[in-house]
Amino acid sequence: MKGFVWLRENDLKTGDEKSHSGNYVVTDDGRPLTSLTTGELQYIGNFNPRATMGLSNTFGYKKLNVRILVDGRVGGTIVDGTEQLLAYNGAPAATAENREGGWNLGGVNTSGAAVNSTIDAQAFWTTASGGRYGTAEFFTYDATNFRIRELSVGYDLPIPANFVVKSARLSVVARNLLFLYRGSSKLDIPGLGKRKMSFDPDMALGNGNWQGISYGTMPSTRSIGFNLQLTF
């Protein structure tokens, strides 16, 4: 995937010296300077995971039976377009930090001189978000996640001898129960740090050559139900 990025010192160089590294570049009034100003798209990651895995196990004790399925993915990049849109209006929790001002991003200007100007959260997030069309790097996350995909707890009901039903098991089944781990934002913003992914990367939009974007998607759901298994 490609998108706009927060410029680094070496982005401003030419030839072999040009690379996405070095100090962050900010404007003289302390706002982040992004490649949105130049129209240059840069590589921000690949949606495809390096590995997917799953583990299922069943435990039994007397008449109690427990089955658990844990699965996950390692690696991959996803852009939270929903957060990008909402950040412009100060809705996400991360925008609550530094609202009173005094936020120094510790960057340099285009000439390489340190900038000590401070900004507030509104100045930062409106620049990063840009409303509908902003800088993707600020909202790019490591899509690594592990979850309890399914948990089933069953009990074998007592059945009278010579009854038409030979066995019966009543189970409580929960699917998409909870996350054990979710990745963080790839950009470590000075004065804010990395943010934990708050959405489900399984709900990303797109297919084929357009993947790795979550934008206004419905949240994933957790379901809990009962299952009755009879043997005749």
List the pLDDT tens digit at each of the 232 positions of the chain: 899 999 999 998 888 888 888 999 999 999 999 999 989 999 999 999 999 999 999 999 999 999 999 999 999 999 999 999 999 999 999 999 999 999 999 999 999 999 999 999 999 999 999 887 889 999 999 999 999 999 999 999 998 888 888 889 999 999 999 999 999 999 999 999 999 999 999 887 665 566 788 888 888 899 999 999 999 8
- At 209 the pLDDT is 61
Domain count for the chain: 1
Return the pLDDT at 215: 84
Contact assessment for residue 9 and residue 23, using Cβ atoms and an 8 Å cutoff: yes
Domain assignment of residue 47, given as a range:
2-231
pTM reported for the whole predicted model: 0.88
Which pLDDT does position 208 carry in this prediction?
59
> What does the pLDDT read at residue 31?
96
pLDDT of res. 206: 62
User: How high is the pLDDT of residue 210?
Assistant: 65
